[in-house]
Amino acid sequence: MTKIFDKMKNFLLSITFLFTSYLAIAQVAVGTTNPDDGSAFQVDSSVGAFVPPRMTQTQMNNIPTPLEGALVYNTTRDAFYMFNGSGWIILGESKLPTLLLNKSSTGTFLLRSNAFFQLPIGNTDVSYIDSDYFTVISDGKIRIEEDGIYNITAGISTSNLPAGSRKYIIAVYQNNTLIGYVNRGNVNLPSQDFWGTSGSFLYEFADGDEIDLRYVINRTASTNETASVRFINLGFTKIN
């Protein structure tokens, strides 16, 4: 009878041990023996910091199957990133990544018949750039360095557009494919005068996309014409 009792006691002790072990591993704590009831993992410290995995942009993008909510410190961007189930998003960024180019009273617009030309604004006209997100390749050509939704704004003006009725276009190309227009329309001047136009374009781009801004200003004469640049303004903003 005593042996049976001892076996039952040992069995109950084993069950109790397994149950308490399960409860013990339900919470993980570092620096404290009394984690909050709502904490699955809690770190308490007054002398050290929590450091998540640190890796480059390429290494982060090469994680094969990240879980939703995964967190890393991106050493390329110097920022925390979280995986939201479909992609990596930056955390705690206080400003929107931006590229600004401005030109004043330098250069010439070419007036031809339905001919597209690169917007004549480039590296020497950069007034602000977040180089982790944008690269100015050449006049009117920008390379996107991170996936996202971008707003493009552009404006052109001249001080001496010749008289007559003409078509104008500011177009957006993605990897040499026309995808839309910042602005397009017609202008009719009774005499040579100041003229300008501007607009915006919203689109989703991928890392490595090359974006071209090209313009058309039609001629009205039988021969080619030109107009002096008064202002050219070009801006890219990553909004998501």
Query: Residue 191 phi/psi, 5° resolution?
Result: -150, 165
Q: What CA–CA distance (Å, rounded) separates 156 from 151? A: 17
Q: What is the pLDDT at residue 90? A: 84
Q: What CA–CA distance (Å, rounded) separates 137 from 99? A: 13
Neighbours of 72 (CB within 10 A): 19
pLDDT digits (tens, 9 = 90+) for 134-149: 999 999 999 999 999 9
Q: What CA–CA distance (Å, rounded) separates 152 from 202? A: 6
Model pTM above 0.85: no
Domains identified in the chain and CATH numbers:
2-90 (no CATH), 98-238 (2.60.120.40)
- The amino acid at 218: N
pLDDT digits (tens, 9 = 90+) for 20-34: 444 455 678 788 888
